A and B are shown apart, each in its own frame.
Chain A
Amino acid sequence: MIFRHRVILPLCLALIAGCASKAPQTAAAQSGPSRAVQASDDNRAVLAQMTPGLVMRLDIDKNVVQLLDLELALVPRSTPPRGSAGDQVLVTGWRGTERVSSVAVADQRVNVQEEVGIVILDRRSLHVALPTPRRIDRIEITLPGATTPQRFPVDQVFERACAQRNDSDLCR
């Protein structure tokens, strides 16, 4: 063991000492000329992750859901819910009998307030971005533990958006 100390430690200290002699340097950058960037190239990665969707607010009072502030927007594509996040509210977009998309959002019913403890919110607001790559006619919302979803027609949102251009993919 003493041999190891005599060999390794001095070697190590020598190496460290050598490195430590190099003082940190800071410099301000020298700028070169600027060149324009094509907007399509610049935004390609972002837009590739986006899809048309419905943004909405869900006001929940016990088991009753109100659907508010419904609006078409570009939203991130979502992945199927994995169920690893605790109680979740499932929001599904339907066109007739076809399920077009779904997203799960965390239910915020159970809260913890500092120095108070668990606070159950029967009334809470959740915010949802539901991808709708194609037109849907209704949304179904299923609360945790509920066996049947609550249904909301969303035809009017698409009617308004499609009033001028019904040849869009979203309007067919």
Chain B
Amino acid sequence: MSEVSDFLKAVKEKGEEGRLLYVGESLSRVDGLEKVLGKPVYTGDMLVQGMLHAKLFHSSVPHATIREIDDSIAKGMPRVAGVLTWRDIPGINESAAVLPDRPLFSKGVVRSTGDIIGAAVAETEVIAREAAEAVKVTYDPLPTVYDPVEAMRPGSVKVHEGGNVAKQMKIRKGDVLKGFAGSP
């Protein structure tokens, strides 16, 4: 670090010609002023004429196959545009970042309480929420596992078809015992 500060010192001593604009200066955030004025528009602040609102409905059980999704009441409510589930996804039903193990909307099976099964869409947020709450899902429960160590054991309940272990990495470096033995 002293190399850098020596360098900066030298640059400053050179005068105008050698002056750096940003390195070594204290800068305000580009959007700092807006933020302290309360001006930025976040997603929840946006309102577009004629927009629809969606509210998600979630699994209430930890592990089960979905027997039935009954959205008849929700769909029948006034000003409800529809109820979306995995069948309505035109593209790939996947929302995970690393492995393809998290569908956007559950297809046939739920793997944790809170898994997103679908969305109710309506003209206002309040109606969308009421419609989401009116969707009735019935489940056939499956056995559960809640402990990660337990879940890694060979005979464990399988949460995912390919098993519960996402990835295994072996890292071998040096010889710990030798190192400890040789330390003061």
Indicate whether A and B interact: no
Chain B contact residues, CB within 8 Å of chain A: none
